[in-house]
Structure 1
Amino acid sequence: MTVSSLLVVGENRWDEEVIYNMFEERDVNLILSIPLNQNERDVWYWRRERLGDYSIKSAYVLLQEQKNLSVVSTGDRCWKRLWALKLPPKVTHLIWRAAMGCFPTKVQIQTKHVNIDAMCLQCQLEPETIAHAQLTCSFAKECWYKLRGITYGGTQESFLDWLSGTFDSRDTKQRQEATMLCWSQEATMLCWSLWKCRNELVWNQRGSNCYNYSLVARNSKGELLHAKSRCRLGQAAPDSAEAMSVREALSWIKGQQYSTGTCCWRRISSS
């Protein structure tokens, strides 16, 4: 039922006969006491604003409430503490994106119908979700342990839940070591550093999960003929990495068609 069904057809006044037939006396009196505008046409009204004008801010809050992110209780408190941290804007903005699920991890990229391998490049053991990249990856766990002796298990909570819990933490040991603000700043900076290390590994092939080798060819006079350097992704024991590098060197020498020569090998450096 709509309000228009209680009006006289073609007129802007209540249909009292319909109203008396459908409602009790109390409701009838309430309905008939509502004045109807006789001079102005109906206009759009945004109920989320006091003046009825649409605003992006109120629409954003509405969308977050519909996504069940507890914006009023958990989110607002979390955001206020995040923006209050005395850290570079690029750090707080990145953490906000992670908490909102707008982080370009491999799993997130897959949701955009991009066909890529979802496994984490750091550990090669689990899909790269936001919580995994920041908390439960073996590389992340080691960093958290070195920072405060903390180890996060295979928790299923979202990054926003974890961040809110971190800001709300009142652990006695943490209070003795530093203020809560200091701990929040440390945790936020570590999250930013973990993502920076991840990007170094993805885009520049630099990180804790790769090994390097270099090849140099000289003639009998010691003059440089050719040189080659490569960085390979993946975890490998030193002996295995050295063996694979030797294989690459022999294949490279064969490809250069050197007829005679001496192979001098130096142990590779790993990162």
Structure 2
Amino acid sequence: MTMLLQKRVHVPGTYPVCGKADEIIMRVLLSCSFASQCWQRLIPKVCQDLSSEFYTWLESVLNAVSKEKNAVVATVCWAIWKARNEKDWNQKQTSINGVIASANNTLYFGKMSKAD
């Protein structure tokens, strides 16, 4: 939403999941309570340093975890983003369990298609 506002598109500037603050990538994928709880359930140590830009954070996390966990990190980011879009565009609330299930399904089916 922040990027759309910068382009002068009239949209609410607040993050639709919490409705409290500007929607920036670090908040959406990491620091809002919803995203933070998702990470705590899957990879508890992933959200320790949120002082950097998203790409810096992502690079440091991907370098700190195993290659298998790299897939989990990317998939959780995607599942949180999908939950955000469901809330904003379809007015559907997704639970933390729903995000985790979505990430697990993506990982599982991705592994299955590689085996084919």
TM-score by length of 2: 0.73
> Can you list the C-alpha shifts for 1:199-241, whole angstroms capped at 9, x where unaligned?
11112111148xxxxxxxxxxxxxxxxxxxxxxxxxxxxxxxx
| Alignment counterpart, residue 50 of structure 2, candidates 137, 155, 159 | 155
Residue of structure 1 equivalent to 2:85: 199
Unmatched tracts of structure 1, length 5 or more: 1-105, 175-179, 210-271
> Can you list the C-alpha shifts for 1:16-55, whole angstroms capped at 9, x where unaligned?
xxxxxxxxxxxxxxxxxxxxxxxxxxxxxxxxxxxxxxxx
| Closer/same/farther in 2, CA of residues 129 and 154 from structure 1, 3 Å limit | farther
> Can you list the C-alpha shifts for 1:110-147, whole angstroms capped at 9, x where unaligned?
11111322111111222110111111111100100011
Q: Distance in 2 between matches of 1:181 and 1:201?
A: 31
Q: Distance in 2 between matches of 1:161 and 1:181?
A: 18
Q: Distance in 2 between matches of 1:121 and 1:137?
A: 11
Aligned-residue RMSD, C-alpha: 2.0
Q: Distance in 2 between matches of 1:153 and 1:166?
A: 10
TM-score by length of 1: 0.33
The structure carrying a bigger helix percent of its residues is 2
- Any idea what SS the aligned residue of 1:150 has? helix
In the alignment, residue 60 of structure 2 is paired with which amino acid?
A: G
Residue of structure 2 equivalent to 1:128: 23
In the alignment, residue 142 of structure 1 is paired with which amino acid?
A: Q
Please show how residues 68-107 of structure 1 align to structure 2 within 5 Å.
106-107=1-2
Using the TM superposition, give the Cα deviation of residue 109 of structure 1 relative to its aligned residue in structure 2, in angstroms: 0.9
| Closer/same/farther in 2, CA of residues 121 and 153 from structure 1, 3 Å limit | farther
Q: Distance in 1 between matches of 2:56 and 2:26?
A: 10
Q: Give the conservation status (yes or no) of the 8 Å contact 1:120–1:128.
A: yes
Q: Give the conservation status (yes or no) of the 8 Å contact 2:29–2:35.
A: yes
| Alignment counterpart, residue 167 of structure 1, candidates 62, 68, 77 | 62
Residue of structure 2 equivalent to 1:146: 41
> Can you list the C-alpha shifts for 1:160-202, whole angstroms capped at 9, x where unaligned?
1011111211xxxx5xxxxx10111000000000011111111
In the alignment, residue 75 of structure 2 is paired with which amino acid?
A: M
In the alignment, residue 45 of structure 2 is paired with which amino acid?
A: I
Q: Distance in 2 between matches of 1:113 and 1:137?
A: 25
Detail structure 1 runs of 4+ shifted over 6 Å in the superposition. none
- The percent identity for this pair of structures is 27
Residue of structure 1 equivalent to 2:67: 181
Flag the structure with more relative contact order, 1 or 2, with Cα contacts below 8 A and sequence separation at least 6.
Answer: 2
Q: Give the conservation status (yes or no) of the 8 Å contact 2:86–2:94.
A: no
Residues paired across the two proteins, number: 95
Unmatched tracts of structure 2, length 5 or more: 96-116
The structure carrying a bigger strand percent of its residues is 1
In terms of Rg, which structure is larger?
Answer: 1
